[in-house]
Structure 1
């Protein structure tokens, strides 16, 4: 036995740690599965319909604009309306998310669809959120080909589509949902939590929109 093994053995013995690796792995697994949950504020424990309403209220409070549509077939018309209202070109950047592919784009004949990651030359992009956090009006965005992270940050206008049933009361519940969707060992490379448009403030507390990302955020909630 090396000096290192001897020292570690004494440490394990003093802590009452199991001797075998299998026993130690089981101990760690049991602790992870039985980990206590943090305190969840009352406003994050509302009924589902009230959670959705709270999400919409908080998203607007932090500078996002918001629309609620009855189904995915109405998304394309809402996106086109947003572009016209902001005097933007009829062009939108999007990833390969299957839900966005079925968003009724065929009804918007004049709208140009640009696919794949943004190279910084797009004024507007659309993504589909993984989930939403009602207590803060935050959207959770998983990286990947379905919804490239570049669309989150490079276009000046970011349109985010979110399914109402994917809105949860608190951040902890969204992480649980992500783990359940992805499966063990299959987490995305990045997960961005976005609350309102990008903003920054100088020492005089003058707020500047678009400093580190889109200066406008439009959220479409699909009922």
Structure 2
């Protein structure tokens, strides 16, 4: 029995008890069910180049973006930034084979193929898509890209290709439906727009309070 049928039968039972208490006979007929209309709101028109819009909105939210030509450049870029910041050359990475194209050890990076922990300097995940309208990056949970890798390390790197960019937030749900038909839905879908930040304490902006204080998109072709 579905929820609608269950609800309708219970409502009818309540009405019958009221009729009986009032000394009336017969049951109150159920009002006809009107079909619900699906309202489709218009989406904003996509203006200009998707990459330019995404980059602009991402940086407006405090994120950064670096264009790379090949997957081999991923560990090179990560090692360069961690060296610049003077933090340990450690990176947490899931089991995504697409991220293992480069020589991580050659640039001195120690790789952990599991979920990130509180003490990990950096993490790298492969994004599901990017939304040009707001500069958000969307991630799907799973063994390939564990959700903790999006939030626990101080430096979070997201690998995203140009073909994964969509104009609006509404477009994400269509992609998720396609993924559901092919592989099933993930347990979690995270939208990340820039590094972790809050201004709750004395209206002073603090970056990295409850998540990464550096969020960088590695944009590939």
2:159 matched residue in structure 1? 161
Gaps of 5+ in 1: 18-27
Q: Is the CA contact (8 Å cut-off) linking 1:124 and 1:159 kept in structure 2? A: yes
- Once superposed, what is the RMSD of the aligned Cα atoms? 2.5
Contact 1:92/1:122 (8 A) holds in 2 = yes
Task: Quote the residue 2:109 is aligned against.
Answer: 111
| Equivalent position of 1:194 in the other structure | 192
1:98 match:
97
Offset from partner CA, 1:111-167 (integer Å, 9 cap, x none): 111111122220111111100000111000111111111111111111111111101
Unpaired runs of 5+ residues, structure 2, are 1-7, 14-27
String of CA shifts for 1:164-186, please: whole Å, max 9, x gaps. Answer: 11010111112211221232782
Looking at secondary structure, tell me which structure has more helix per residue: 1
TM-score by length of 1: 0.80
Structure with larger Rg: 2
**Partners of 1:54 and 1:211 in 2: how far apart?**
27
Structure 2 distance, partners of 1:54, 1:220, is: 16
Q: Which residue does the alignment assign to 2:87?
A: 88
The change in CA–CA distance for 1:79 and 1:203 in structure 2 (over 3 A counts) is closer
- Counterpart contact for 1:130–1:178, Cα < 8 Å: no
**Does 1:41 pair with 2:44?**
yes
Deviates further, 87-96 or 177-186:
177-186
Partner of 2:24: none
Distance 2:10 2:183 in 1: 31
67-76 or 177-186: bigger deviation? 177-186
Correspondent of 1:7 among 12, 16, 21? 12
CA distance in 2, matches of 1:64, 1:168: 18
Query: 2:74 maps to what in 1?
Result: 75
Provide the TM-score with structure 2 as the length reference: 0.81
